[in-house]
Amino acid sequence: MWRIPKKFALVSASAEGPFELVALDNALRKAGVGELNLIPVSSILPKGCVLSDLPSLQPGTLTPVVMAKICSSTPGQKIAAALGVAISEDSHGMISEYHDIGVTEKTAGKTAEAMVRYMMEERDLKPTKVISVSAGHTVRHHGAAVAIAVFLP
C-alpha cells in the first residue's frame, strides 16, 4: 500500500554519453538517483510535505518521482530541464515539469516557476513559497538534463 509522502528532495544534473540512453543514465547517476527504480507520478505535492536532502536509499528501491528530462544528439544544442515547486501552508502544492531546446538553465527554472504559479492559480490555491531546480547542458555528442522531485516516506 502506498503512503502519502512526508518529505521530498530536489535533484538535478546533466551529462554526456556515447548514446542518448547512456547520457540519461549518467545524468540520473550524477543526480544521485541512478540506482533507484523511478516511478513517475503526477504533479501533486501533498499538504505538509517538506523539502529534505536526498537520503541514501538501497539500490532498486521503488521510488515515486516527478521528473523533467530532455536528451539530444545534436552537437552544440543547448538543452535544459526544470521543475517548479509551489508549496502552500494552507493546502496541497503543485510541481510543474519543463524541458526545452535552446534555453538556459536559469530560463528553464523561471519558466517552471511561472508554470506552477499558474497551476496553483487555476485551482484557487495560494502558494506560500515557489522554488525551482534545473539543469542545463550544451551537447557535445549525446547529452541529457534532468530535474527530479523524489518523494520520500
Active-site residue (options: 12, 43, 96, 132): 43
- 43 SS3 class: coil
Point out which residues pair with 60 in neighbouring strands: none
Determine whether 97 is an active site residue.
Answer: yes
Active-site residue (options: 97, 105, 113, 134): 97
Domains of the chain: 7-152 (3.50.20.10)
40 Cβ partners below 8 Å, 6+ apart?
64, 65, 66, 67
pTM of the predicted model over 0.85: yes
Active-site residue (options: 37, 73, 89, 121): 37
What Rg, from alpha-carbon coordinates, does the chain have?
Answer: 15
pLDDT in tens, the chain (153 residues): 678 999 999 999 999 999 999 999 999 999 999 999 999 999 999 999 999 999 999 999 999 999 999 999 999 999 999 999 999 999 999 999 999 999 999 999 999 999 999 999 999 999 999 999 999 999 999 999 999 999 998
Determine whether 42 is an active site residue.
Answer: yes
Listed in order, strand segments (DSSP E) in 1-153 are: 7-16, 37-40, 44-45, 50-51, 62-72, 78-87, 93-101, 129-138, 143-152
